[in-house]
Amino acid sequence: MKLPVILALFLVAVAQQPSIDRGKLKAIRRMSPEERTKLIERLEQIKKLPVEERERLRENLSKVSSMSAEEVKKAREKARNLTPEDRRDFSDLASGFFRWAHQRGYGKGFPRAMFFQWLKSAKPGKIEEIRALEAGVGSPRVDEFVKLYYEFRDVSLARTEAHIRRHKCMDAETIHELRDTSPKEFWPRWQELIRECSGKRANLGPVAPQPLDPPKE
């Protein structure tokens, strides 16, 4: 059984049996103080979940622990894909955040589907943590989505910069201008850049093959 699965099962067990000494968390070897602190924080989040959710999580982790490496790989690939059910669920959880963004004009052009896909693939387990948080205006749930909103903006900016360097579809100054764009204008401008770059690539036509080595004198 892989270490992450062991830790996850241990956390669920602790959450379901409050009598277990939390100090046992520190007995897990090869973990830094920061990692132990993070595990304890995860434990607190799991304990806030309904009993049914904790039981479902335990069952899922038990299934993963009994799967082969190939089966785990296929399950991970499937888990990364955003399903219609995921989109409805995520949209419902983020409804308070989207109201916050709309009121401030930050939601225009915001790629919700891409945000949810990033959240699912890059932040596994985050949705369950958010689900356990209090909802409503100014709630911890909204605060968590706001943090993710800004993190996703930085990730998108870095990816766009890497894309421009790789494909040479824009000059370097473009990304600096995007970085300095106000929150209200960032996503509309980002959408424009994506369309412009896609249009340029579509009009390039076939590219002649290039020799691997320069011609010899």
Kindly list the domain boundaries of the chain, sorted by start residue: 1-79, 81-203
Tell me the pLDDT band of 78, cut-offs 50, 70 and 90.
Answer: low
Q: Provide the mean pLDDT of the chain.
A: 76
| Average pLDDT value for residue range 55-64 | 67
Residue 53's Cβ-side half-sphere holds a number of Cα atoms within 13 Å equal to 13
Q: How far apart are the first and last CA of the chain?
A: 60
Q: How far apart are the C-alpha atoms of 31 and 27, rounded to whole Å?
A: 9
For residue 126, the 8-state DSSP code is H
- Residue 123's CB: how many other CB atoms inside 10 A? 14
**CB of 61 within 8 A of CB of 9?**
yes
Give the integer Cα–Cα distance in Å for 81 and 157: 22
Q: What is the pTM of this model?
A: 0.59
